Amino acid sequence: MIRSPRAKLLFACTLALAACRMEDAEPARGVRSTPPRPDGGTPVPAGTDLQAAIDAARDGATLWLEPGTHQGPIVIARNLTLWGPAQAVVTSRREGTTIKVEGRGTRLMGFTVDGSGGRFDLLDAAIHVGADDVLVEGVGIREALFGILVEKAQRAVLRGNDVRGTGDPAMGLRGDTIRLWETKDCVIEANVVHDGRDMVVWYSDRARLLRNTVFGGRYGTHFMYSRQNLVEGNHYVGNVVGVFVMYSHDVQLRGNLISRCSGAAGIGIGLKESGNLVIEKNRLLANTIGVFVDTSPLDRAEHNRIEANLIRLSETAVSFHGGAARNRFADNSFRDNQNQVRVDGGTDAREAEWIGNAWDDYQGYDLDGDGVGDLPYEVRSLSGQLTSKYPELAFFHGTPTLFLVDLTGKVMPIFRPKTLLIDAQPRVRPAQEPSHAR
């Protein structure tokens, strides 16, 4: 039988971590399915001149790629459907972009794209979309520097693709798996994206990212200068950063799983100078930092809502840099975190609104049984106060040194640390945890 309080705590944490890992240990890679073959197509045997077949096709025609190797690069300058099974491989000479789409309404479906050039300055990619209303569905991409790039286009749909990056050990030397640049009304849905650098949404409005699985990269999704985007029902597992929102507005993050963003730079959700954000019903598990808030929102007329999320097994659940005002944290569940809140620069997080959150280290009581603590929840940490002012002391996290520092702050009033936050209505029982819709 486990008798000591310390042993019981360690045992409970081990069980919680094991449960988390059992649930989210390996992202669902999925099996790419080939979309149904469109009717009325013209077969293109392997080894024939694919570009010549494209140039000879009438506008709106369908080409069926037969299994085997089809030599690229190719340019599609008109409305065309290019379909093939996974065994039909459009390959690259390892120079430039393999498939360039310039025809509005083009559809690429089912086949595999193998390789691209290796020049970052030219954005050598497997598929480069530069036209409106393009569909890329069920395509497999491998050994390409950049995966699918959509630039200066509207209403592109990327659905059910398997986009594999180069997996270079140096993540900065990988290309982006999916990139939207100056786009509007695009959909990125049900893709499996892995072993690349970033999935990027820059200067793009009203994109919808739905039910994707992203793992083994640097930024699961990186927003910059974008508005009115929706990120819902995605799996982000084992990336350095799950989702980072920079200089963007009116972005919604709902019902996502973001887990195991570890290491010194690990962040589940990061916000920088962004406002009117809604972050709700997400599960953030085993990240170094659950939510990182850097001067967000910057505009004094904007506010952020962080509500009904589960933040668990983090080194720090919420970290602030540059102020906490106009952020509302409500109905979240904070469990099994080493630190609940950290504030850099020696300030506090009291300018944020904290209401109705469930804190597993709450030491109050609920005599009337209404589920709300009768005493406010307060966060004070002398070690956190010291490390925010002297970051080099973070080296001692988890050691007896900082444990004794916190103990001193509790038992000796002269060293009492400042209050970082107050939740006036803490919940004593967590609300139902957010579930992940797939």
Tokens of 295: 């001067």
Indicate left, alpha or beta for 167 from its phi (over 0: left) and psi (-120 to 50: alpha).
Answer: left
Rounded to 5 degrees, φ, ψ at 227 are -135, 150
pLDDT digits (tens, 9 = 90+) for 283-327: 999 999 999 999 999 999 999 999 999 999 999 999 999 889 999
Find tokens 């073959």 and name the residue: 37
**Are 282 and 309 in contact, with CB atoms under 8 Å apart?**
yes
How far is residue 338's CA from residue 402's CA, in Å, rounded to a whole number? 12
pLDDT tens digits, residue range 365-423?
A: 999 989 999 999 998 764 555 555 556 555 555 556 545 545 454 544 545 567 889 99
* Domains identified in the chain and CATH numbers: 107-112+120-423 (2.160.20.10)
Residue pair 295/320 in contact (Cβ under 8 Å)? The answer is no
- Token code pair at residue 129: 């979309």
pLDDT digits (tens, 9 = 90+) for 98-152: 999 999 999 999 999 999 999 999 999 999 999 999 999 999 999 999 999 999 9
Cβ within 8 Å of residue 413, ≥6 positions away? none
Backbone angles phi, psi at 67, to 5 degrees: -55, 145
What does pTM read for this prediction?
0.86
